[in-house]
Amino acid sequence: MTMDPILVGYLSLGAITFAIYAGLHVAIALAGVSLFGVWAITGKLKLAMNFVALAATDSIAEYTFGVVPLFVLMGLAVSESGMGRDTFAVISRGLKRWRGGLGVATVLSNAVFAAITGISIASAAVFSKVAVPEMIRAGTDRSIAVGVVAGSSVLGMLIPPSLLLILFAILTDSSIGDLFVGGVGPGLLLTLAYILYLSGLGALRPQLFERVSAPEETEVNEQTATWRILPVLGLAALVLSGIYLGYFTPTEAGAVGAAAALMIGTLMRRIGARAAWRIAVQTGHVTAAVCFLIIGASIYSRMLAFSGLPASITEAAIASGIGPTGFLLLFAGLLVLLGTVLDSSSIMLVTVPLAYPVIQQMGIDIVHFGLITVLAVEVGLLTPPLGLSVFVVHSTLKDTGITLGEVFRGAAPFALLMALTLLALILVPQISTGLLGR
């Protein structure tokens, strides 16, 4: 007995939504529902199982997938080597005469750190330990201190290299290099928005920030030599210039960056045998998790294509006359809403395969769409009840007495700034495509 393919496609969406909200792992939900969907369409279980097996094999057999473990390895090596701490120390020393300078230094440090890690959670964990104690000790309001760290940590997934941009490229079979170039504009725009907000708040409400003349509060930073920021800048320049100038493919750039990060950490005597083992194990864990998600997403997207649902949705979207801008606004709003209850990767895995055919028919640039998608799902890192970056900051500082409510309150203005940047990105595509000459 077989069922109408389009009906199966719609039922699969409901089944996946129910499974995820019920707490089932996203990859298992995607693969399981897809198996039953193909079975329902064809009426043959063996064919459905072969379909799932083939999709799983093809999804991670491509050369492009090698970029995932390499950039994860590089990011973890950078985090373990203490480069984030050095970056914050040097930048904050240069801004110590600026009201709110430690907050601005945190944003700038996160922007630099993002250029070599690509993982928001890593940024949140590192700067919770490094920046928050320094800001509080210097007199910054606790809620602002933790909000700055949570808010600026999202730059790790926007400024290239970004694990979410890599995931988007794999899901849509698009150019990782083009997405990396496209991420520069939105990343710099969001960084500038954060800096202007903190500077304006420092001028209007100086009592919320550190005392400017407080050299004893920055004693730790004074002990960090200025040259220690050079390895971070050099590594970022090596990886990104290699990609942008065409010397490396993104996968090769990941390999070069990972090797350079491990070499720098070893020469600085911050990565020994134990640290190297921790990095290797964590790289394996993260890669396995991402691999599992990609397999589930590949099976799911093939099942959707088999059912004909994406084509049906595309026809309906075009017939509605909503237009490209209207569609992007609705899609971004849906992603932000889903971000309150799901993590970033899960949202992309479920929604991108459905929306991708629509944007192709509407003539929307894939880089523009990719950056909108990543920025929209990143808003969810700062919003309740999930707010993954907020929970990471809170758990890192749980012994200090800082409450979860304080972190959410501090992160709220940064979430609003992200939403405004997202709106600007939707209305002005050149923010993401300008460097590509499109």
Residue 299 within a domain: no
Residue 38 within a domain: no
Residue 321 within a domain: no
d(CA 96, CA 81) in angstroms, rounded, equals: 25
pTM: 0.83
* 3-state SS, residue 387: coil
pLDDT at residue 239 in the model: 86
d(CA 6, CA 11) in angstroms, rounded, equals: 9
Where do the DSSP E strands lie in 238-372? Answer: none
Residue 255 within a domain: yes
Residue 351 within a domain: no
Say which DSSP state 82 is in: T
pLDDT at residue 216 in the model: 44
Residue 54 within a domain: no
- The pair of three-digit structure tokens given for residue 240, joined into one six-digit string: 């990104």
Structural domain including 285 reads 63-291
Q: How far is CA 106 from each of CA 72, 133, 385, 416, rounded to the nearest angstrom?
A: 22, 12, 25, 18
- The pair of three-digit structure tokens given for residue 273, joined into one six-digit string: 């045998």
Residue 223 within a domain: yes
Q: Which residues contact 393 (CB under 8 A, 6 or more apart)?
A: 124, 128, 132, 146, 149, 150, 153, 407
Q: pLDDT tens, position by position, for the chain (438 residues)?
A: 678 888 888 898 888 888 877 878 888 888 899 899 899 988 888 888 898 888 888 777 776 677 888 888 888 888 788 887 888 888 888 777 777 778 898 999 888 887 777 777 777 878 888 888 888 888 888 889 899 998 898 888 888 888 889 889 988 989 888 999 999 999 999 999 999 999 998 888 888 776 654 444 444 445 566 777 888 888 888 888 888 888 888 888 889 988 998 998 888 888 888 889 998 998 888 888 888 888 888 888 888 888 888 888 888 888 888 889 999 999 999 888 888 777 788 788 888 988 999 999 999 999 999 999 999 998 887 887 767 788 888 888 877 788 888 888 999 999 999 999 999 999 999 999 988 877
Residue 19 within a domain: no
- Do you find a cis peptide bond into 384, omega within 30 degrees of 0? no
From the CA atom positions of the chain, what is the Rg in Å? 22
The tally of domains found in the chain comes to 1
pLDDT tens-digit profile of 54-90? Answer: 888 877 777 667 788 888 888 888 878 888 788 888 8
pLDDT at residue 327 in the model: 93
